């Protein structure tokens, strides 16, 4: 079962300082790593959030990128001003030894392709040059499987779908909320304070599907029902639930909602 989440491009509107926005994005990335989120989809909540949308997607992608080749893909930018203070997320694509002698056959590593002396190599975060003979261009990311280890490395490209376990999240941009929900083919879980509490049978039924499930979040000051209004009646294959019944605070912040909702879904997932 695969889970994706959808968040609005207005997700950072309640933060004024760049540093605080950065920390909020880190919390979203961290929760997505913990609960093995396949896609983080940023949908449009309005035209005035283009700058925040760019900040959101840039930092989410930066945090998902293995540390050893971030500098190759992310030039210095004001958007990344405060990322140095953030802890690593340590998803599977970011773990692994830097000692070339410990790399074994069939290990999977992620890297970026770079040139040297007219040839292509892939930087997989070890202290040895690894020749690359695949079709991807210089400067592109790739996931490789080790065919032969130290000292005569040979590798070949694989896709994330070929990895039998969670590797890392993807970051994507969608249209507005209604178009995202109507185009999504799998089941949808809408998180809403105005909905009823979770029914065990319904949750177990959704989690038993083989299709990818989308968990959708609104904003702190505007929930799913307010955003969709009567259009919600035209959406199919969804359940809307209140994950925080009788909440003790006036609002639940987005990063809190993501962590809390995914925790509850995770509990159901492993106790079906």
Confidence of residue 271 (pLDDT cuts 50, 70, 90): confident
- CATH superfamily, with its number, for domain 3-89+168-269: SPOUT methyltransferase, trefoil knot domain (3.40.1280.10)
Give residue for tokens 């109507």.
Answer: 182
Mean of per-residue pLDDT scores for the chain: 94
Cα–Cα distance for residue pair 45/174, rounded to 1 Å: 10
Question: 111-125, 171-185, 214-228: which has the minimum mean pLDDT?
Answer: 214-228
Residue 221 pLDDT > 80? no
List, in sequence order, the alpha helices (H) in the chain. Answer: 18-34, 50-64, 70-73, 177-183, 200-207, 224-228, 254-269
Considering the segment(s) 92-162 as one domain, its CATH architecture is Beta Barrel (2.40)
Predicted TM-score (pTM) of this structure: 0.95
H-helix or E-strand spanning residue 9: none
Tens-digit pLDDT profile for residues 121-175 = 999 999 999 999 999 999 999 999 999 999 999 999 999 999 999 999 999 999 9
Q: Is the predicted pLDDT of residue 272 greater than 70, yes or no? A: no
pLDDT digits (tens, 9 = 90+) for 30-71: 999 999 999 999 999 977 899 999 999 999 999 999 999 999
Domain range annotation of the chain:
3-89+168-269, 92-162
């Amino acid at each position: 079962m695969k889970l994706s989440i959808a968040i609005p491009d207005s997700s950072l509107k309640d933060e004024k300082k760049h540093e605080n926005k950065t920390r909020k994005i880190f919390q979203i990335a961290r929760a997505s790593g913990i609960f093995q989120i396949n896609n983080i989809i940023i949908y449009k909540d309005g035209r005035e959030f283009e700058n925040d949308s760019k900040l959101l997607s840039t930092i989410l992608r930066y945090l998902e990128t293995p540390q050893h080749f971030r500098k190759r893909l992310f030039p210095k930018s004001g958007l990344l001003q405060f990322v140095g203070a953030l802890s690593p997320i340590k998803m599977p694509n970011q773990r692994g030894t830097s000692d070339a002698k410990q790399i074994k056959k069939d290990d999977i590593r992620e890297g970026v392709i770079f040139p040297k002396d007219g040839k292509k190599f892939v930087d997989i975060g070890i202290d040895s040059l690894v020749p690359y003979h695949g079709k991807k261009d210089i400067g592109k990311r790739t996931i490789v499987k080790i065919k032969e280890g130290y000292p005569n490395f040979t590798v070949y490209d694989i896709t994330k779908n070929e990895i039998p376990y969670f590797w890392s999240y993807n970051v994507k941009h969608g249209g507005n909320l209604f178009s995202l929900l109507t185009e999504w083919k799998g089941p949808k879980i809408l998180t809403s304070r105005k909905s009823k509490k979770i029914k065990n049978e319904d949750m177990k039924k959704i989690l038993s599907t083989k299709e990818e499930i989308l968990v959708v979040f609104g904003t702190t000051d505007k929930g799913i029902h307010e955003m969709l209004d009567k259009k919600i009646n035209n959406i199919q294959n969804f359940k809307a639930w209140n994950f925080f019944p009788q909440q003790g605070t006036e609002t639940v912040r987005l990063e809190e909602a993501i962590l809390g909702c995914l925790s509850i879904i995770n509990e159901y997932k492993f106790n079906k």
